[in-house]
Amino acid sequence: MRLPSLRHGTLRHGIKNINSPGRGLSPFQYVTLLSRPSGSRWLSKATKLPEQPARTRFAPSPTGYLHLGSLRTALFNYLLARRTGGQFLLRIEDTDQKRTVPDAEEKLFKDLRWAGLEWDEGPEVGGPYGPYRQSERTALYQLHAGQLLETGHAYRCFCTQERLQELAEERHKLGLPTDYDRRCFHMSKEESNAKAADAQPHVIRLLSPPKYPSFIDLVYGKVPKGATLKRTVDDAFDDPILLKSDGLPTYHLANVVDDHHMEITHVVRGSEWLIATPKHIAMYEAFGWKPPAFAHVGLLVDEEGNKLSKRKLDIDIASYRDKGVLPDALVNFVALLGWSHNMGKDFCTVERLQELFRPKFTKGNTTVDIRKLWFLQSKHAANITEESGQPFADLVRQVEEVVVKEYNVADRSHTLQDTLLPTYISSILKADARNYSTPEEFVKRVEFFFRPQHYPPIFDGYQKSNVAVDTLASACRQILQASPWTKEGIQKEILTTVAQLEKSIASEASEKHSHRAVSADVHHFLRGVILGGRAGPTVAESMEILGKAFCAARFSEFQAARPATAEDGTVSSAAG
């Protein structure tokens, strides 16, 4: 159920204007600098939930598809909003029209909904702060850029691309920073207005302050820590472009304006934006606005510490879905990438994540271990199977599609009898979901159930058996009398058979064999005869699914074939 929008009473955090961040550092270097141990009085407060409902947003650009990192950003914002009874917004930052991928927005909506991240406000939903596509908010950005011009916090720059390129190359050769030299800042207001009125191409730049303001990050505390690093060197100024020559905003301006007007209270985003945040704080101060609280989470890296690439795990979310990954499993997996929790175990439903969530994120980068995803996949498959709701019906359908594709009706008729295929698959899943990975791998694992004729009973080479094969065969036949023919009824007969064999062996050999050894012999024998030695659910579960008539037929097949091929009176150890 979608939560109602709260337009009033949103939480704001005031930011004190103090030191400036380092310039000339890459995001990786900057985050590393901030990750050094230091006082953490802010961090203890950061883990607390806000006292009022949080308004959060996910603001992707349709220049590509949803990946693990972006899904994690969306999830953390979503969980914070849900945990506090607030709102989760979706905003499309589509001002880079040249790089826009035609179907990216459509796939984004599909992927987010598949993962269960429904937005309260945004495209296809609406809301009181729309429109929610930046390409439809251009007039608002131009208005605010004009305000910064009027207050002296911004200026027009008429320099051509050629001039800027030459300036950067010249300064680079001298080993100097390649930032702008503020030539146009010194232009008179009258000349600037006249050129603009004459439609001369120009951009609008932020007049950066002598020192960028610091802020309190919910992950890293005060940014930056320690000594203040200079922002200007040799007349080079870090004055970012706010409005491009085509009238469209850059990320810096649009991001700040939208977050303010949409009343965003908390921003959770990747640490690659940490170095740019002081610029945003400077703009908030220039407008006289209070900024939201920021939390910058570390990058996702592979086991070698490298940023994820398409060759190494960073595939789009649709690829995981197409492989058969369950949405709850992927969300559970992504939530553990850089979030500190007290669950006591890794498996967690989405509902439980919402109950437990706090903005307590781990510092530094997070290594992605895909093996944990497959572990969680089996756990969620088992959980879905127990609940037997729509997610289980979807799971059955996915497995059915593989079975229909791989095996024809003749293959399946040996075991299906009059049972409908979905019902039959449901039984197998309920018995063996703990070993589920993907539909293809699961079907391969339980292939016997769909073409048993390819796996005749195994009965030769059982040299290590504690019980003679003829004795096992005779004793195990009574299991076919189990009533009711259920997992529990069959297991009860198996236990009775094991107990009788123990007494018989002890009487004949004047020695007592361990219960475990005799039980193993019985189970191995049954798996060899009934399942052809194939893996799958437990013997009792498998026999229940296959039915009494099928199991009896397998015993008869075993008895008919055994004298012709097993002169030593033994059966194969492969049956185990």
Cβ-Cβ contacts under 8 Å for 444 (sequence gap 6 or more)? none
The residue type at 46: A
β-pairing verdict for 366-367 and 221-223: unpaired
User: Residue 275, exposed/middle/buried by CB under 10 A (0-12, 13-18, 19+)?
Assistant: buried
Taking a C-beta distance cutoff of 8 angstroms, is the pair 443, 403 a contact? yes
Tell me the C-alpha distance between 201 and 132, whole Å.
28
- By annotation, the residues acting in catalysis are 310
Tell me the C-alpha distance between 64 and 67, whole Å.
9
Tell me the C-alpha distance between 494 and 497, whole Å.
5
Q: What is the dihedral of CA 479, 480, 484, 485, to 10 degrees?
A: 110
Q: Name the token pair of 189.
A: 């207001």
Q: Which of 308, 293, 377, 378 is nearest to 338 (CA)?
A: 308
Q: Is the peptide bond before 563 cis (omega within 30 degrees of 0)?
A: no
DSSP symbols for 458-470? P-S--TT-SS-HH
Taking a C-beta distance cutoff of 8 angstroms, is the pair 565, 460 a contact? yes
Opening angle at CA 449, ends 446 and 452, nearest 5 = 115
Residue 427's alpha-carbon distances to 57, 431, 483, in angstroms, are 42, 6, 19
**CA 338, 339, 340, 341 torsion: positive or negative?**
negative
Q: Which of 271, 267, 232 is nearest to 32 (CA)?
A: 271
